[in-house]
Amino acid sequence: MNKETDKMEYPIFEVFIRSKNGLEHRHVGSLHAADPEMAMENARDVYTRRQEGVSIWVVESKNITASNPEKSDELFDPAQDKVYRHPTFYDLPIELKHI
């Protein structure tokens, strides 16, 4: 038999599931499939055997652009000192109601 890696691997898809209407789709994991149709069928079998979802998205992993953790500082640090984006930054008299 061919014990070499046979380069016939199916591409990887990421799977997102909406657990019930009113909630967003959430990433649950990934799987291999030859095409999106097969990915959908596999996602149903692998990730919703116990009514975990009412809707599935599959997207081929190579189509996802991810942020680089090494760049986390420059991406996310600038938000750290923007206290004026939060309601508590603004001083109002306590006797004021509903604001």
Partner 1 sequence: MSVEINLDQEFQSRIDAGERIEPKDWMPEKYRKTHIRQISQHAHSEIVGMLPEGNWITRAPTLRRKVGLLAKVQDEAGHGLYLYSAAETLGISRDEMEVQLLTGKAKYSSIFNYPTLSWADIGAIGWLVDGAAIINQVMLTRTSFGPYARAMVRICKEESFHQRQGYEIMLGLAKGTPEQKAMAQDALNRFWWPSLMMFGPRDADSPNTEQSVKWKIKRKTNDELRQQFVDITVPQADYLGLKMPDPAIKWNEERGHYDFGEIDWDEFWQVVKGNGPCNKERIAARTKARENGTWVREAALAHAAKNAERKLSTKVAS
Residues in contact with partner 1 by the rule CB under 8 A: 1-10, 12, 28-32, 34-35, 38, 45-46, 49-50, 66, 68-70
Considering the complex, state which of residue 7 and residue 82 has its C-beta at the smaller distance from partner 1: 7
Minimum Å gap between C-beta 91 and partner 1 is 34
Considering the complex, state which of residue 5 and residue 88 has its C-beta at the smaller distance from partner 1: 5
Minimum Å gap between C-beta 3 and partner 1 is 6
Considering the complex, state which of residue 70 and residue 95 has its C-beta at the smaller distance from partner 1: 70
CA atoms within 13 A of residue 61's CA, in its CB half-sphere = 12
Burial 1-24 (b: 16+ CB within 10 A, else e): eeeeeeeeeeeebbbbbbbeeeee
- Whole-angstrom Cα distance, residue 10 to residue 20? 30
Minimum Å gap between C-beta 58 and partner 1 is 13
Contact 60, 12 (CB under 8 A): yes
Considering the complex, state which of residue 9 and residue 24 has its C-beta at the smaller distance from partner 1: 9
3-state secondary structure at position 66 = coil
